[in-house]
Chain A
Amino acid sequence: MHPVRKQRLIIVLCVVLFSSAAVGLMAYALRGNINLFFPPAEVAAGKAPVGQPIRVGGMVVEGSVQRSEDSLHVRFEVTDYQARVPIVYEGILPDLFGEGQGAVAAGVLDDQGVLQATEVLAKHDENYMPPEVAEALEKSKAQMKGANMTKGQGE
Chain B
Amino acid sequence: MWSFFHKLGSPPWLYRISGSILRWLLPLTLIALCAGAVWGLFYTAPDFRQGNSYRIIYIHVPAAVVALAGYYVMAIAGAVSLIWKMKMADVAMKACAPVGAALTFIALVTGAIWGKPTWGTWWVWDARITSMLILLFLYLGVIALYEAFDNKEAAGKACAVLTLVGTVNIPIIYKSVDWWYSLHQPASIKFTGESSIDPSMLYPLLLMIGSFYALFTCALLMNMRLEILRRESRTGWVRKLVGA
Contacts and interface: CB of A to CB of B under 8 A. Distances in A.
B185 A123 contact: yes
Contacts of B44: 130
Contact of A124 (B82, B119, B124, B181): B119
A132 B120 CA distance: 26
A64 B121 CA distance: 24
A95 B50 CA distance: 9
A149 interface: no
Contacts of B84: 5
A129 interface: yes
A119 B185 CA distance: 19
Contacts of B54: 128
Nearest to A7: B83
Given A20-B168, A57-B181, A123 B188 contact: no
Contacts, number: 128
A132 to B, nearest CB: 7
Given A15-B164, A19-B165, A35 B181 contact: yes
A142 interface: no
B126 A36 contact: yes
B201 interface: yes
A30 B142 CA distance: 27
Contact of A127 (B46, B117, B197): B197
14 contacts: A15-B165, A16-B164, A23-B172, A36-B180, A57-B181, A96-B49, A121-B119, A121-B121, A128-B198, A129-B197, A130-B47, A131-B45, A133-B48, A135-B48
What 5 A-B pairs are tightest by C-beta distance, nearest first?
Answer: A94-B120, A130-B45, A134-B48, A129-B198, A36-B126
Interface of B: 44-50, 54, 57, 79, 82-84, 117-121, 124-127, 161, 164-165, 167-169, 172, 179-183, 185-188, 196-198, 200-201
Interface of A: 5, 8-9, 11-12, 15-16, 19-20, 23-24, 27, 31, 34-39, 57, 93-97, 101, 104, 119-135
